[in-house]
Amino acid sequence: MKTIDNFNFKNKKALIRVDFNVPLNETFEVTDANRIEAAKPTIIKVLEDGGSAVLMSHLGRPKGEKKSELSLQHIANKVSEVIGVSVKFVDDCVGSTPEEAVAALKPGEVLLLENLRFYAEEEKGDKDFAEKLSKLGDIYVNDAFGTAHRAHASTTIVAEFFPEHKCFGYLLAKEIDAIEKVMRTGEKPVLAILGGAKVSSKITIIENILDKVDHLIVGGGMTYTFIKAQGGSVGDSICEDDKMELALEILKQAETKGVKVHIPVDVLAANDFANDAETQVVDVDKIPDGWQGLDAGPKTLANFKEVILEAKTILWNGPVGVFEMENFAKGTIAVGNYIDEATQNGAFSLVGGGDSVAAVKQFGFEDKVSYVSTGGGAMLESLEGKTLPGIAAIIE
């Protein structure tokens, strides 16, 4: 795996694909700079070698149109602030304007290009567009895991024009390494905690990881499809009736492969999908009509704790309750605490996928797990066993 450490950037211009698709408020200020922070070590390495950095990213979904509200000019000051270097901005990403700006770039300087998605060619993976981008650097560095599952011009196609001079940035290398630990090289027992609302959105992940894990915890809304499939009463809980056979098939596959599946035994049920609803703890297979399971119950959490603390490698993808409502967040917080304890005891823990990452940030677990993935869709496709085009383009 060629990383940025394989190159010396002295007097070289690094063309770096970053993921600066950050949230902005009404006055176009960055409200969460995590993705900029994540790219900082890669940019600093280039500058400290005596090179210059040309940064390219997308922002939002302009669909090939120039939209002033999605200009990367809005984030240039924040990038300067995070990196500690005054960042120059150019209002295009291909053609003579950026080419001239790059030619004038001195060692130690940083240039931010305009939004790549102002050109429809970016998302189409257009080769001519990729070739124009390739003129803006001597070495191509991909550090954008969040878009590594897309075969776009700047994430995949451009690498063809740097046959010997392409590599992963630190962030992308860390992402690859973290997934590798869970899927291939992790110390046993390996545990996957899969939550979220639907079995349908996790089928391919479950099928792919059954060969890699020793334990599987099923939580969240998925629980009720499994319980109903086994003849339990789930009341008004979310349930995919058309996926019940599949749930039974997953349990059968797990048994064949020697994977122990842990499903909730009790839940905190509510008489309405609301934070102020009436609640009661009930057995997961005896939820009364008019009630729905919205969080894991105390016996379930005690079972989960035991499994989590014994694990040496942990993947957490999806909350175990409706954590957005305070009264149904306790299960997800408890799971976070158990993973924190396991990590302190030497386990490797990876958190990935939109909702679990949101929960980890909301409840302050970011620094208590081994790694929090920066890419939702890319992370999920990696767990499904797919080779991501942005990664393949560097390895080839």
Q: Please, what's the b/e burial string for 169-182 (b: 16 or more CB within 10 A of its CB; e: otherwise)? A: bbbbbbbbebbebb
Is 226 annotated for ligand binding? Answer: no
Is 355 annotated for ligand binding? Answer: yes
Is 364 annotated for ligand binding? Answer: no
Is 59 annotated for ligand binding? Answer: yes
User: Annotated catalytic residue: which of 67, 88, 305, 377?
Assistant: 377
Contact 22, 146 (CB under 8 A): no
- Look at the chain and count its residues: 396
Is 60 annotated for ligand binding? Answer: yes
Q: Catalytic: 195?
A: no
Is 21 annotated for ligand binding? Answer: yes
User: Annotated catalytic residue: which of 35, 45, 166, 243?
Assistant: 35
Amino acid at position 334, single letter: A
Q: Catalytic: 198?
A: yes
CB atoms within 10 A of CB 124: 14
Is 35 annotated for ligand binding? Answer: yes
| Rounded Cα–Cα distance for residues 61 and 67 (Å) | 10
Q: Catalytic: 35?
A: yes
State both tokens at 123.
């998302």
User: Annotated catalytic residue: which of 260, 305, 354, 361?
Assistant: 354
| Rounded Cα–Cα distance for residues 324 and 344 (Å) | 27
Is 136 annotated for ligand binding? Answer: no
Is 324 annotated for ligand binding? Answer: yes
Is 196 annotated for ligand binding? Answer: no
Closest of 60, 135, 45 to residue 94, by C-alpha: 135
Contact 59, 21 (CB under 8 A): yes
User: Annotated catalytic residue: which of 2, 127, 198, 312?
Assistant: 198
Is 353 annotated for ligand binding? Answer: yes
Q: Catalytic: 290?
A: no
Peptide bond preceding 41 in cis form (omega within 30 of 0): no
Residue numbering of the annotated binding site = 19-21, 35, 58-61, 117, 150, 202, 293, 324, 353-356
Which residues form the catalytic set? 35, 198, 354, 377
Residue numbering of the annotated binding site for ATP = 202, 293, 324, 353-356
Residue numbering of the annotated binding site for substrate = 19-21, 35, 58-61, 117, 150
